[in-house]
Amino acid sequence: MIMNLLILLGPLCFLAHNLPAPGVLGCENEYADIDTMPHKGTLLYKNAFGTREDLKSWVMEGPGELRFSGGWMDMFSPDKEWDHVLWCPNDFPSSFMAEWEMQNRDTSEGLTIVFFAATGSRGEDIFDPSLPKRDGTFKYYNKGQLNCYHISYYTNNPKNSDRKKANLRKDPMFALLQQGETGIPPGSLRKHKIRLIKKEARIVMYVDGRKIIDYRDEGGAYGAPYLSGKIGFRQMRWSHFRYRNFSVWNIKTDKR
């Protein structure tokens, strides 16, 4: 009798054990499932993006232009000339938490990407003079000289208008590790808060507290997980966003 009851209850126990944790599916509360991830530790870097002086050490690749007004940094390509990448000069460790705010200024077309854990293909600094010069052309970042991850978290590309979801890729293989949820909605003019977390091999991204990417890089066919490196913001030529309040912390797993 007892054995028969256990057989009947077995599938139910399995289902209950494998149900998603509260908040994971909808992420209704801001960072609702962040308990599964580390919390902010020591502040490693902070930049308000409010003035040109704030960005004096950053590196622009490609014909991107920066303008500053009201505590925001606008980034765009004049006449939508070409794609561009803006790099933070600092290297960040293999585990970090980064946040920034952004707002779309032109919803007609565009695409934004964040590069992170970026190094040269042999582990050198991405600004090492031995590396070929980059001009914003995508192949120099995703199929050539850099090792990095990238997430496309706003997708309104006129060359691929049906795709709205965020992609996590590993370069230079341009390997699609995960297609997540929609990041910044294509028609949105709201101010959005982005959170990117990398804890060694695990990568998570939130937009306004809604989780859009959650992936653990187990290596395999695409090699070992990437560790430390630089962070950069890429925009396709049609994009015009403004940014502010970029901060990076190391992370801790102990909440005490």
Give CA–CA dist 148/125, Å, rounded.
Answer: 12
Q: If DSSP codes are grouped into helix, strand and coil, which group holds residue 201?
A: coil
Q: If DSSP codes are grouped into helix, strand and coil, which group holds residue 32?
A: coil
What 8-state DSSP symbol labels residue 220? G
Q: Provide the mean pLDDT of the chain.
A: 87
Domain boundaries along the sequence of the chain: 47-251
69-76: average pLDDT: 98
What 8-state DSSP symbol labels residue 92? B
Give CA–CA dist 29/26, Å, rounded.
Answer: 8
pLDDT tens track for 208-234? 999 999 999 999 899 999 999 999 999
Give CA–CA dist 136/247, Å, rounded.
Answer: 24
Of residues 247 and 35, more confidence is placed in 247
229-246: average pLDDT: 98
Q: Is the model's pLDDT at 35 over the cut of 80? A: no
What's the CATH architecture for 47-251? Sandwich (2.60)
Q: If DSSP codes are grouped into helix, strand and coil, which group holds residue 138?
A: coil
Q: Is the model's pLDDT at 19 over the cut of 50? A: no
Q: What is the pTM of this model?
A: 0.85
In contact, 234 and 81? CB cutoff 8 Å = no
